[in-house]
């Protein structure tokens, strides 16, 4: 029961991740009632520009506006360590710690037989290509500790065994600042198994 242009606007937001009909309506009315014409124009332009300007880095497959990306082309980064993650947001989360000095490999997904996502649907081949270069000494598997993420890590670790590189998995345990009593069983089991000697 809106006019056609408003309906089109609502529909273009409906279906974005986490946005249903009601949220799409609220966003559409926010744009129409609270945004200036300039702001709306800027928003539209940001979509067009990002879609046109963003590509995949030829090395790490991360989203970037220049290939190779800033991380892959930085002389300060250690090219002998590759951290494998599911998505660009994971690169961002790890970069925000300012601790990791190696490079990345972005899979753009995880294996998920139920959803029909197999090895050829995520960027595993591109990882194998990078390993043909003998400078790589370690691959850290930093996929999420979910069923799909773990399956992906196991699959890749098996695939990499002929290459003779060190393959590691990020640690699982009780998150810093949280309570053991609220941790789930599997996390507690992992935290006990991977206990470390205190020095």
Q: Which residues bind its own copies (CB under 8 A)?
A: 1-6, 8-9, 11-13, 16-19, 23, 25-33, 35, 37, 40-54, 63-66, 69-70, 87-89, 91-92, 95-96, 108
Strand 55-56 versus strand 102-106 pairing type:
unpaired
Query: 140 has which bridge partners?
Result: 83, 168
Strand partners, 167: 139
- Residue closest to 81 by CA, chosen among 180, 197, 165, 162: 165
Decide whether 4 or 114 has the Cβ nearer to its own copies: 4
CB closer to its own copies, 55 vs 166: 55
Strands (DSSP E) contained in 43-132 are: 55-56, 63-64, 78-85, 102-106
Closest distance of CB 88 from its own copies, Å = 6
- Shortest approach of its own copies to residue 164 CB, angstroms? 32
* Nearest distance from C-beta of residue 135 to its own copies, angstroms: 24
**Under a CB-based contact definition with an 8 Å cutoff, are residues 170 and 142 in contact?**
yes
Question: In terms of CB distance, is 3 or 135 closer to its own copies?
Answer: 3
Compare residues 56 and 150 and give the one whose CB is closer to its own copies.
Answer: 56
Give dist(CA 154, CA 147) in Å, integer.
11
Q: Which is nearer to its own copies, 32 or 171 (CB)?
A: 32
Q: Is the peptide bond before 131 cis (omega within 30 degrees of 0)?
A: no
**Least Å from the CB of residue 83 to its own copies:** 14
Q: Give least dist CB 4 to its own copies, A.
A: 7
């Amino acid at each position: 029961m809106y006019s056609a242009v408003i309906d089109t606007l609502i529909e273009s937001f409906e279906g974005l991740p986490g946005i249903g009909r009601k949220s799409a309506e609220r966003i559409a009315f926010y744009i129409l009632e609270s945004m200036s014409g300039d702001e709306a124009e800027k928003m539209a332009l940001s979509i067009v520009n990002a879609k046109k300007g963003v590509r995949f880095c030829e090395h790490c497959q991360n989203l970037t506006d220049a290939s190779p990306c800033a991380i892959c082309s930085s002389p300060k980064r250690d090219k002998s360590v590759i951290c494998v993650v599911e998505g660009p947001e994971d690169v961002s989360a790890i970069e925000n710690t300012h601790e990791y000095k190696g490079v990345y490999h972005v899979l753009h997904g995880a294996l998920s037989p139920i959803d029909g996502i197999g090895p050829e649907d995520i960027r595993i081949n591109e990882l194998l290509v990078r390993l043909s270069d003998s400078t790589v000494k370690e691959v850290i598997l930093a996929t999420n500790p979910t069923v799909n993420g773990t399956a992906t890590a196991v699959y890749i670790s098996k695939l990499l065994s002929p290459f003779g590189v060190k393959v590691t998995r990020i640690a699982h345990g009780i998150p810093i600042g949280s309570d053991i009593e609220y941790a789930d069983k599997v996390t507690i089991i992992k935290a006990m198994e991977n206990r470390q000697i205190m020095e």
